[in-house]
Amino acid sequence: MAVGAVVQGVTPTVFTTLMEPQVRMAVWSRPAPNPVDAPDLFEATCDGMWIAPSGPAPDWLLDDIQGLGDILAAVSGGPMWRARFQTTTTRVCPRFHQDAVSVRLIATYQGLGSEWAFASEIGHDLNARRAETRRRVRTLHPGDIAIMKGSAEGWAAWPEFPVVLHRSPPASRRAIRRVLTIDAVTSG
């Protein structure tokens, strides 16, 4: 289902829509994995052939990161990527923003999903303090895999299409959030 420049689907084929200039974010709605044995922090890089993890992690997480990294590589057109899986009880990114990367994948495994809005809807209220702005904020669900176009690519060449901004959801010391981000890495 398309909503402006955002497309949502129930299979990973939804990400092929990112090749269209007007699509700024694609979301694959899938069930959330059960991350009971997930590490608090885990990083990995892929040079196009090998995945290099920062330490031990359960097989299900390594498999998921590899599969999602492969999807991001197909979207970005380059084989290299960098992943970060972390457990947090703080709001890592409180302000709405567009990442300075070509594309970023965000997946919440546990807790509240990332919030997003069109830049044209929130204007300069990047903290979403006004009630009018808060009504326009949407939330990704745990399990959703979102790939967003960033500002470091030629996407700005189409200013007629709305930019999608995102931020971390509200935090709670009692409710942990486990989230994965994967960025495409350009060589050189």
Structure confidence at residue 41 as a pLDDT band (50, 70, 90) = confident
Cβ-based neighbour number of residue 175 at 10 Å: 12
pTM score: 0.86
For the chain, helix, strand, coil in percent to 5 are 20, 35, 45
CA 31 to chain centre: 16
Query: What domain range is 107 assigned to?
Result: 33-141+150-184
> Could you tell me if residue 81 is inside a domain?
yes
> Could you tell me if residue 164 is inside a domain?
yes
Predicted local confidence at residue 82, as pLDDT: 92
Predicted local confidence at residue 30, as pLDDT: 94
Predicted local confidence at residue 170, as pLDDT: 84
d(CA 102, CA 148): 9
> Could you tell me if residue 5 is inside a domain?
no
> Could you tell me if residue 159 is inside a domain?
yes
The total of structural domains in the chain comes to 1
Q: Residue 155 pLDDT > 80, yes or no?
A: no
Q: Residue 6 pLDDT > 80, yes or no?
A: yes
Mean pLDDT of 106-117: 92
**Cα dihedral across residues 111, 116, 122, 123: positive or negative:** positive
Cβ-based neighbour number of residue 57 at 10 Å: 19
Q: Residue 47 pLDDT > 50, yes or no?
A: yes
Predicted local confidence at residue 2, as pLDDT: 46
Instruction: Provide the 8-state DSSP code for 159.
Output: T
74 touches 105 (CB < 8 A): no
> Could you tell me if residue 90 is inside a domain?
yes
